[in-house]
Structure 1
């Protein structure tokens, strides 16, 4: 189970930024401590930058492990050429590698896969992965399936095109994560 933090928190922002930004912030904290605090409190003030330093180290580690843009584009091209069964097999293998138990759901439903991990169930809708436009209706169907099954979370997979603004708002408000092109490609590459 991944730790979830507020999207707009300083730490979340620094994790999404280039690694060196965190270290610049740490430098600014140390400079401010030196300029604003008496000598005997300088070390205490400088230590305030320690959590940000740790976030910078985590960001650097993640960014060094991240696949190159060329590999991401190559994976997206491969995904675009896959038939549904191969794509579903690839998703299943990736989530299994992340420690989930994956159940294939009957064809024609709003959800294609059910992921179980740590007593939590997440429904995945991936069959429209090649659609050019993604409106709110498939997300409403996924949300209804989540409620019927008692799943607190859902994932909607998109490899091309964009979600409409209404669809993005609906997903955010109803516990549905949108797994889009680059994040999907990175997940699949990391599963190899």
Structure 2
């Protein structure tokens, strides 16, 4: 369905709604402070014929300022209100799911709520989150994340029964390459096929099923406990934990079939036991 053409007023509201609410309030104040003096300024009567053009321009600017001194602040404040409400609803969703003993709460929401929830979970892990809306020229990307100068792309799939196939992961990988992203996430309330997991392995794509997402959401409100752990070294560009999205640290297995082999373990161990192959 084609997107309805919006007015400039609606565009300003939409843009402001994607910013922190206080930014909209500041912009409203700045717009009024700049435009009000122009709107109330007296325009001198024309004496010389050659100055008529300047008077017309000044009159046009005054007319625009008279309207804009109220219209622009109203648009900015409307966007700020939408931003504040969106922030409130995302927090409420996160707290609702975090309080749930299992991931069933993920199945009882719309795809818009699911996308907002995923964005809030990443935001609370220190990412700067931009909601792209999915579809269109962005290749189905729903969220763009920034952290420590690196870009990560996210596809959200709120599928309650169907498994997410390898085609979705391939699509994300193609967009990552085109945009030069460091990594990506496919997040679903369901599960992934074996082919999807096999394709993601080694490509810096994290697949988060409903269980992993629920663990991430529940973990963001739980402060890490001080624990005595063996010394570890963290390398530049260490990957992020597939469970809680903290930075990982390289460790050596001390026992078992992999004794002596290195692996990536979550820096929040033992609170989080996420790991990746080195």
TM-score, structure 2 length as denominator? 0.40
Asked if 2 retains the 8 angstrom alpha-carbon contact of 1:146 and 1:154, the reply is yes
**Alpha-carbon offset, residue 174 of structure 1:** 1.9
Asked if 2 retains the 8 angstrom alpha-carbon contact of 1:134 and 1:163, the reply is yes
**Structure number having the greater helix percentage:** 1
Summarize deviations over 1:105-164 as a string: whole Å, max 9, x none.
14313321111100111111113443512211011110011111110211111222x322
Q: 1:154 to 1:72 in 2, by over 3 A?
A: farther
Does residue 184 of structure 2 align to residue 154 of structure 1?
Answer: yes
Does residue 107 of structure 2 align to residue 80 of structure 1?
Answer: yes
User: Which of 102, 106, 112 is the aligned partner of 2:142?
Assistant: 112
Question: What corresponds to 2:170 in structure 1?
Answer: 140
**Alignment length, in residue pairs?**
120
Asked if 1 retains the 8 angstrom alpha-carbon contact of 2:114 and 2:158, the reply is no
Q: 1:91 to 1:176 in 2, by over 3 A?
A: same
Inter-partner Cα distance in structure 2 for 1:85 and 1:102 = 15
Asked if 1 retains the 8 angstrom alpha-carbon contact of 2:164 and 2:192, the reply is yes
SS in 2 for 1:189: helix
Does residue 123 of structure 2 align to residue 93 of structure 1?
Answer: no
User: Unmatched 5+ residue regions in structure 2?
Assistant: 1-98, 222-278
**Alpha-carbon offset, residue 165 of structure 1:** 2.0
Of the two structures, which has the highest relative contact order with CA contacts closer than 8 Å and spacing of 6 or more? 1
Runs of 4+ in 1 over 6 A off after TM superposition: none
Which of the pair has more CA radius of gyration? Answer: 2
Does residue 212 of structure 2 align to residue 186 of structure 1?
Answer: no
Question: What corresponds to 1:19 in structure 2?
Answer: none
**Alpha-carbon offset, residue 79 of structure 1:** 1.0
Asked if 2 retains the 8 angstrom alpha-carbon contact of 1:112 and 1:127, the reply is no
**Alpha-carbon offset, residue 72 of structure 1:** 4.0
Question: What corresponds to 2:16 in structure 1?
Answer: none
Inter-partner Cα distance in structure 2 for 1:116 and 1:106 = 17
